[in-house]
Amino acid sequence: MNTLYRPRSSSPARIGLAAVLILFTSLGILSVFNTLESGYAAEETNPRADYWRLVRSNENGYSAVTGRETNELIQGSGEVWRQLRNGPIATYGALLMLFTLLALGAFYLYRGKVELGHPRSGDTVERWNKQERILHWYTAVLFILLAFTGLSLLYGRAVLIPLLGHDGFSSYAIICKWVHNIAGPFFIVGLVVMILLWFKHNIPDKTDIKWFLEFGGMIGDKHPSAKRMNAGEKAWFWTLFFAGAGVAISGLVLDFPNFDQEREIIQLAHLTHAILAILLMSFSLGHIYIGTIGTEGALEGMVTGRVDTTWARQHHDLWYEEIRDQGKSVSSPMPDTTEGQTETP
């Protein structure tokens, strides 16, 4: 039988090659369709994707409301501020204050109170006048109030909510914030007056180096020479001068946020305020310790205004010699005139 067409025989290699070509062609077509489909879908679901990318990168958008920062729809630095505040600042700040308390406690157990090396003479000399004492206690009370309310606001969510509950802490936090904001400017006034009043007594000199080298007489029985302010008091003064200035300026930025400050400025001021305030509180613990339980007779001067001359010679000998040479009054206790007298009926 004559045939006009004879099919070619198909070998297995030919069949496999065709299958591979068909598979890759199908995959390519599907890939093209998927790409086109995803592009159309993205365009339909988010036609302004580029716009929101700019918004998240802190670029200005458009808002119908007019005012400061109204066109900044998403403020990206806010999350950075929150993480810094609740993370390293809160954590390392708590560790610093705890370490300071533990170090002071351990030192007190080791050294105890620094007592007078000689019996009290009974004669006293004026250390602080009435105006200076009023200024000190005015500023000190406000400092403690600000420290207490500030720590409550910084650590309240972690520490106080489990104790007070959410509603209780909310009411307490509102009170703390109000007290903190009101007390802050009054503290600044006291701080400025204190710095101006005692500036001339806190200028560093060569006696301060020796005072630090001998640890201020806190270790051992030697008491280095000092003028009216010793090197430790000067260190506290200059800490208040610089860190206090930073706390004051940043606090005013936070206290009055409507003077056209942008949120980035307010966030930076808040972080600065928290860091410097924690440093001040940590340093103040040492100042309070030395002025109360750490040194015999130190608190008497700020309460009554006068110190025993034995205390003055031991802790501030150069100052005592200066006021003695100036002829300033030294008072003695009133003699007991009733001894040997006969009581009259």
Question: For the residues of 177-191, what is the DSSP string, one character each?
Answer: HHHHHHHHHHHHHHH
Instruction: Decide which of 38 and 19 is more confident.
Output: 19
At 266-295, the pLDDT tens digits run 999 999 999 999 999 999 999 999 999 999
Q: With bands split at pLDDT 50, 70 and 90, how would you rate the model's confidence at 18?
A: low
- 184-188, 203-207, 322-326: which has the minimum mean pLDDT? 322-326
Q: Over 50: is that where the pLDDT of 121 sits?
A: yes
Q: If 0-12 CB within 10 Å is exposed, 13-18 middle and 19+ buried, where does residue 266 land? A: middle
Q: Which residues are bridge partners to 331 per DSSP? A: 124
DSSP element (H, E) containing 306: strand 306-308
Q: Distance of alpha carbon 239 from its chain centroid, rounded?
A: 13
222 is written with which tokens? 């030697």
**DSSP label at 260?**
S
Q: Average pLDDT in the 47-61 region?
A: 61
DSSP calls for 204-250: --HHHHHHHHTGGGSSSS------SS-HHHHHHHHHHHHHHHHHHHH
SS3 labels along 135-153:
HHHHHHHHHHHHHHHHHHH
At 56-105, the pLDDT tens digits run 665 665 666 666 666 666 667 778 888 999 999 999 999 999 999 999 99
Question: Domain spans of the chain?
Answer: 87-331
Average pLDDT along the chain: 83
At 230-271, the pLDDT tens digits run 999 999 999 999 999 999 999 999 998 877 778 888 999 999
Which class is domain 87-331?
Answer: mainly alpha
Q: Over 90: is that where the pLDDT of 303 sits?
A: yes
Quote the pLDDT of residue 345.
36
Quote the pLDDT of residue 69.
66
Residue whose pair of structure tokens reads 């750490």 in the numeric block: 294
Q: Average pLDDT in the 148-162 region?
A: 93
Of 274, 275, 295, nearest to 286 (Cα)?
A: 295
- pTM for the predicted model, two decimal places: 0.76
